Amino acid sequence: MTGNRNVGGGRGRPPLRLLLPGTLILVLLAIQFVPVSRTNPPAADGPVVGADVGGLLRRACYDCHSFETRWPWYSRIAPMSWLVAGHVNEGRAHLNFSRWPALDFALEDEFLRQIAAEVKSGRMPPDSYKLLHPEARLGESERNLLIRWAGGGISP
């Protein structure tokens, strides 16, 4: 009576409650093999600035806007790796301090104008980044310092 529940099927098939986590684990393992571009090509020095401005740029911007990215441990694990690499590659495509010496003055000026605008509006560094990198949060005086530098036009 009660011992007959297996008759007619179910044998050899894993129960549903194991199938779901098992599939999830397999998918998580499989996506680790998707290649991610996580490079740090040779970097030229950034703009010529004082140590104070330079320190702020390195603290709050260089991870995404230079070839001197400090790749965190979670940037090695998919799917976070895709998000981090996406941010870095997109950030570098817009503005790359490691390519600064190769820019002409007009472009430098345009970037400085953009930097001042982004810092003034608080859009940069992005909120999601500040969440995981509290050291990148800028105080008001630090933001003002960056805005004054960038708003001043072409760097000397």
Per CB under 6 A, residues contacting ligand HEC are: 60-61, 63-65, 87, 90-91, 94-95, 114-115, 118-119, 124-126, 129
Query: Which residue lies nearer to ligand HEC by CB, 45 or 90?
Result: 90
Q: Write down the least CB distance from residue 20 to ligand HEC, Å.
A: 33
Q: Write down the least CB distance from residue 77 to ligand HEC, Å.
A: 17
Q: Write down the least CB distance from residue 156 to ligand HEC, Å.
A: 19
Listed in sequence order, the residues at least 6 apart from 132 whose beta carbon sits closer than 8 Å to its beta carbon are 72
Listed in sequence order, the residues at least 6 apart from 145 whose beta carbon sits closer than 8 Å to its beta carbon are 52, 53, 56
Q: Write down the least CB distance from residue 14 to ligand HEC, Å.
A: 41
Closest Cα partner for 112 from 149, 57, 150?
A: 150
What is the Cα–Cα distance from 115 to 7, expressed in whole angstroms? 71
Query: Which residue lies nearer to ligand HEC by CB, 38 or 87?
Result: 87
Asked if omega into 79 is within 30° of 0 (cis), the reply is yes
Query: Which residue lies nearer to ligand HEC by CB, 12 or 62?
Result: 62
